[in-house]
Structures are given as structure tokens and as C-alpha cells.
């Protein structure tokens, strides 16, 4: 198994909004859906997946364990609840959503429980999200032969996470970029707009193509059909070395970070 390079993110999408978005995305050809226990939309996604009539084998489904379910028993039971909501017997990928360095449940417990969930067949693959370099090193030590399928982290043109990327690529750890469009900021960026014009593309397509060109998976989200359709086309966009140099210069470091909850975040690299 591998993680698809392109999928649909569902963060902040709820109720009929997530139903309509997933329904539209599936109709356009999306086949990877990313959700999480903390998003509160697993049941709605499961409803749409079932009504779609698509074979289960065609859908790559990712969910994430929220911190309050990190204890062994809670992790296993909550993942089963997620499966019930999603109306599947197994998800393709389950991630630890945040490392919560100062939490009561230690990585040894929740990562071991995650591996147990895989052994029980609740999930095909396991991984992590928002882990820094030290967290990845520790996770690999705890999991041993259990492979980390991906580390899902915030990466966009203004936060390029270069230290983590360098480590991950050197060590063969796959990365998934979330918030690749910097919550829409890329659309108004003059550099990205200029690159987009040169390719008859959109700034969003440029940002997504930039991320995929580095080997990251991307999971952009939109509630508009035209944006969902446009984002798909980013998979066919190839940027030049000059384009990449110009995007590299957009890096703003930690000041550009969007997602960083005080209680759950690690010490970012």
C-alpha cells in the first residue's frame, strides 16, 4: 500500500456541507478522502460513500485518532466507532493526530495501540501527523518493524518545513502536506499568480504542483465544484526550475504557521 498523492481534505466541513462536498468530489473522480475523529464528520462521509455505490477497493480512506482517545482501550474502541460511522470494516490509513508531548498518555502507549489496531485489521496502514524530527525518531523506535506510512504536516509556500523535509527524505519517511494553499493565501500571491499565468494555471494549482513535485501527498479542500475540479488538474502541472526557485524564496518560517495548538504541538523544527 502507498498513500495517494492527491486526495480531498475535509477539515472544518460538517453536516450537509461535507455531504455535498464529498459527493461532488467523488463525481469528479476523487478517490482519496481524509477525515479525523476530531472533525466530527465521519458519519456524514460514510453516508455519502455508501450511497455512491463505488467499490470499497476504489476509495482510500484516512482517519485520525484524537488526543482524548490515546489510551490503549480508548484508541481501539474509538477506531471501531470510526469504522462504524464510516460504514467500513477497515480504513486504509489511521494517524495519530497530534503528538501531545505533555499529555498523560505517552507515545509508547498510543503508538503500540496503533500498531495493535493494524494487527487486528482495523486499519491497513498507520502513520502520524504533526510530528517533528525527534517525534518521528521516537515513533520509529517504538513501532519497530511497523512502517509509518506518512507524517501529515503543515507545508505550504510560506512554511516549507525544510529541516523536517530534509530529514524525512533522507530517512525515507513519506510526508503529506496539509494546508498547502495556506487557507487561500496563495490565491493572492503575486509570485504565484505570475507563475500561474505562465502555465495557464491557477495559483492553487501551482502550490499543489509544487508540493507534489517534492514527493508530498496533498489533500486540498474546497466546497466549490469549480475549485475541486481545478485542483484535480494540478496533478498534470510541471513547474520549471525557475518556478521552484521563486517559490523557495516565499519561505517565511514559523511566523507563517497556521495550525499550532498550545496543548498538542511539539517543538517545531
Q: Is residue 209 part of a domain?
A: no
Is residue 92 within 8 Å of 61, Cβ to Cβ? yes
Q: Is residue 205 part of a domain?
A: no
> What is the percentage of the chain residues whose pLDDT exceeds 90?
99
Instruction: Report how far residue 3's alpha carbon sits from residue 135's, in angstroms, rounded to the nearest whole number.
Output: 21
Q: Is residue 201 part of a domain?
A: no
The residues with which 123 forms a beta bridge, in sequence order, are: 91
pLDDT, mean over the chain: 97
The residues with which 33 forms a beta bridge, in sequence order, are: 8, 61
Residue 162 has pLDDT above 80, yes or no: yes
Task: Give the 3-state secondary structure of 158-207.
Answer: CECCHHHHHHHHHHCCCEEEECCCHHHHHHHCHHHHHHHHHHCCCHHHHH
Residue 1 has pLDDT above 90, yes or no: no
Neighbours of 110 (CB within 10 A): 25
Annotated active-site residue 158? The verdict is no
Dihedral angle, C-alpha 89, 93, 97, 102, nearest 10 °: 90
Instruction: Report how far residue 98's alpha carbon sits from residue 264's, in angstroms, rounded to the nearest whole number.
Output: 6
Q: What is the pLDDT of residues 81-124, one digit of tens each?
A: 999 999 999 999 999 999 999 999 999 999 999 999 999 999 99
- pLDDT-derived band at 51 (thresholds 50, 70, 90) equals very high
Half-sphere exposure of 55 (CA within 13 A, CB side): 2
Q: Is residue 74 part of a domain?
A: yes
Instruction: Report how far residue 198's alpha carbon sits from residue 91's, in angstroms, rounded to the nearest whole number.
Output: 40
Domain of residue 120 covers 8-181+216-221
Residue 80 has pLDDT above 90, yes or no: yes
* Positive or negative torsion for Cα 195, 198, 202, 205: negative
Q: What is the pLDDT of residues 7-31, one digit of tens each?
A: 999 999 999 999 999 999 999 999 9
Q: Which three cell numbers stand for residue 37?
A: 475523529
Give the helix/strand (H/E) hosting 60.
strand 60-65
Q: Is residue 15 part of a domain?
A: yes
Q: Out of 39, 110, 158, 178, which one is annotated catalytic? A: 39
Is 199 known as a binding-site position? no
Residue 62 has pLDDT above 90, yes or no: yes
Instruction: Report how far residue 155's alpha carbon sits from residue 256's, in angstroms, rounded to the nearest whole number.
Output: 10
CA nearest neighbour of 33 among 51, 45, 16: 45
Q: Is residue 236 part of a domain?
A: no
> What is the percentage of the chain residues whose pLDDT exceeds 70?
100
Mean pLDDT of 147-167: 98
Specify the pTM: 0.97
Q: pLDDT value at position 67?
A: 97
CATH of the domain at 71: 3.20.20.100
Give the chain's domain count.
1
Burial class (CB in 10 A: 0-12, 13-18, 19+), 257: middle
Q: What is the pLDDT of residues 232-269, one digit of tens each?
A: 999 999 999 999 999 999 999 999 999 999 989 999 99
The DSSP string of 37-48 is GGGT-HHHHHHH
Mean pLDDT of 123-152: 97
Q: Is residue 142 part of a domain?
A: yes
Amino acid at each position: 500500500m502507498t498513500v495517494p498523492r492527491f486526495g480531498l481534505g475535509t477539515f472544518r466541513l460538517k453536516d450537509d456541507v461535507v455531504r455535498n462536498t464529498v459527493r461532488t468530489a467523488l463525481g469528479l473522480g476523487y478517490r482519496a478522502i481524509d477525515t479525523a475523529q476530531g472533525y466530527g464528520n465521519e458519519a456524514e462521509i460514510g453516508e455519502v460513500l455508501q450511497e455512491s455505490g463505488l467499490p470499497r477497493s476504489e476509495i482510500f480512506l484516512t482517519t485520525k485518532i484524537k488526543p482524548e482517545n490515546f489510551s490503549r482501550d480508548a484508541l481501539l474502541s474509538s477506531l471501531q466507532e470510526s469504522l462504524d460511522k464510516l460504514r467500513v470494516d477497515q480504513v486504509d490509513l489511521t494517524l495519530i493526530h497530534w503528538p501531545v508531548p505533555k499529555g498523560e498518555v505517552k507515545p509508547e502507549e498510543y503508538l503500540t495501540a496503533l500498531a495493535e489496531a493494524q494487527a487486528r485489521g482495523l486499519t491497513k496502514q498507520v502513520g502520524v501527523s504533526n510530528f517533528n524530527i525527534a517525534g518521528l525518531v521516537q515513533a520509529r523506535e517504538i513501532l519497530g518493524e511497523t512502517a509509518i506510512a506518512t507524517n501529515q504536516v503543515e507545508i505550504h509556500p510560506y512554511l516549507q518545513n525544510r529541516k523536517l523535509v530534509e530529514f524525512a527524505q533522507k530517512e525515507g519517511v513519506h510526508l503529506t502536506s496539509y494546508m498547502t494553499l495556506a487557507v487561500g493565501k496563495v490565491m493572492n500571491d503575486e509570485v504565484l499568480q505570475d507563475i500561474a499565468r505562465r502555465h495557464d494555471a491557477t495559483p492553487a494549482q501551482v502550490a499543489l504542483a509544487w508540493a507534489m513535485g517534492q514527493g508530498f501527498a496533498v489533500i486540498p479542500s474546497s466546497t466549490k465544484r469549480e475549485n475541486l475540479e481545478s485542483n484535480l488538474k494540478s496533478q498534470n502541472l510541471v513547474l520549471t526550475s525557475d518556478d521552484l526557485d521563486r517559490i523557495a524564496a516565499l519561505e517565511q518560517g514559523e511566523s507563517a504557521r497556521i495550525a499550532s495548538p498550545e496543548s498538542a504541538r511539539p517543538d517545531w523544527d
